[in-house]
Homo-oligomer: A and B are copies of this chain.
Amino acid sequence: MKPYREMSREELKAEEEKLRKEYRKYQAMELHLDMSRGKPCKEQLDLSMGMMDVLDSNADLCCEDGTDCRNYGVLSGIHEAKVLIGDMMENNPDNIIIYGNSSLNVMYDTVSRAYTHGIMGNTPWCRLDKIKFLCPVPGYDRHFGITEYFGIEMIPVPMSPTGPDMDMVENLVSEDPSIKGIWCVPKYANPTGYSYSDETVRRFARLKPAAPDFRIFWDNAYGIHHLYDDRQDYLIEILAECKRAGNPDMVYKFASTSKITFPGSGIAALATSPNNMEDILAQMKVQTIGHDKVNQLRHVRFFKDIHGMTEHMRKQADIIRPKFEAVEQILDENLTGLDIGTWTKPLGGYFISFDSLPGCAKSIVAHAKKAGVVMTGAGATWPYHKDPNDSNIRIAPTYPPMEDLIKAAQLFSLCVKLVSVEKLLGEERTAE
């Protein structure tokens, strides 16, 4: 098929007619499908059911140093969990704090602590007139939700396949002391699936921020979430790189097992420098006596070590890889050559990022919804939910069963085509 833009008005009208008919067929199906959130599917969760057996009533619930995990204490987490998560994050166990079930909660608390008490002796953010964060776009809506909640001004920075626009990041960060942070999903990014190049990470580690309390919020949510065995992105480890560059305290690095074991019942972690750890633990000891150590122990006993976790992730990939490929194939078959959209083909993570013609994303998502398929809201990938081009849509292929996913992806393609045709016909009318 030829690009829509090269079609005559008559051809477009005929195409619109055809697409409308098809769309009505989908509406008649009364679908109730959900491609909105990056949730593991049932089969993925089933992979971790063995975790429910490793600690039974006969189990010894003491950890290696003899501490009874059932009781109070051990603020920063049990050692063997730090070793396991250290291997997962590629960090020294001594630089790791193990938390509860949610890395989002850790990020929120990190911003909240900076707001109420400041970072390492610097002025609390609540005492400053203006705080700004850089936000690579498209990005993760829940990151932006935290900074918005604290009234922090968010500045979008364009993403490319090698990471954020580092010229822009370097200039802004070195000039403006009110810029206190940047949200990063450095590997298999949400939603593009892009991984930061070696050069990008090196430039991050060598930033010269005007603010002494500037921190990189490095959410390595998909560090070991590869889709392929033979094709994997590699990410330079940021803590080590910052240390080498003489910026040891510049990074908070987050991760969790939410998309490894159970999203609701995993363990979250933060890796950072000794100075930052001291700063954080001084607050944490006021906030809690300690996180759930039995669940930490459960994870360690289940995986044994990083090899166990790696093998586990291979099984996860086997379940979701066909879903990514199915969506990509449907998009290919339906949209290639029409010049009405581009999409990413990630090697890992949980999302495909789709860019429509400018001004079409909201309408595409609305059309999908009217036919029973829920997508992530258009605009969600931008700060304040404002995508200036109204073009980016996040596709989350993991949760629906394959059969549903195929239907949803086909309907989505149809909506892209229909909205694009309408848009082009509208433009013609305006031009007439």
Residue numbers of A with Cβ under 8 A of B are 37, 39-40, 42, 45, 48-50, 52-53, 55-57, 59, 61, 68-74, 100-102, 104-105, 108-109, 112, 115-117, 124, 126-127, 142, 145-146, 149-150, 258, 262-265, 283, 286-295
Contact B292 A100 (CB under 8 A): yes
Pick the contact of A101: B59, B68, B145, B292 (CB < 8 A): B292
Contact A68 B45 (CB under 8 A): yes
Provide the bound-state CA to CA distance between A286 and B150, in Å.
Answer: 10
Contact A288 B105 (CB under 8 A): yes
Pick the contact of A104: B59, B101, B142, B288 (CB < 8 A): B288
Max chain B Cβ within 10 angstroms of own Cβ: one of A42, A52, A105:
A52
**Closest B-chain residue to A283, C-beta based?**
B149
Cross-chain pairs A/B with CB under 8 angstroms, 20 sampled: A45-B68, A49-B57, A50-B57, A56-B56, A69-B265, A70-B263, A74-B264, A100-B100, A100-B101, A100-B291, A101-B291, A104-B288, A109-B287, A112-B112, A115-B126, A142-B286, A146-B286, A265-B292, A265-B293, A292-B295
Contacts of A289 in B (CB 8 A): 102, 104, 142, 263
Provide the bound-state CA to CA distance between A294 and B261, in Å.
Answer: 12
**Closest B-chain residue to A40, C-beta based?**
B71
Contacts of A116 in B (CB 8 A): 112, 115-116, 126, 150
Contacts of A115 in B (CB 8 A): 116, 126
Contacts of A262 in B (CB 8 A): 70-71, 294
Contact B57 A53 (CB under 8 A): yes
Provide the bound-state CA to CA distance between A101 and B105, in Å.
Answer: 14
Contacts of A146 in B (CB 8 A): 286-287
Contact B149 A264 (CB under 8 A): no
Minimum distance in angstroms from A218 CB to a CB of chain B: 19
Contact B104 A39 (CB under 8 A): no
Contact B39 A72 (CB under 8 A): yes
Contact A264 B287 (CB under 8 A): no
Max chain B Cβ within 10 angstroms of own Cβ: one of A59, A74, A288:
A288
A105 and B57 contact, Cβ closer than 8 Å, known pairs A37-B72, A45-B70, A264-B73 = no
Which 4 pairs, one residue from A and one from B, show the smallest C-beta to C-beta distance? A70-B262, A265-B294, A49-B57, A108-B287
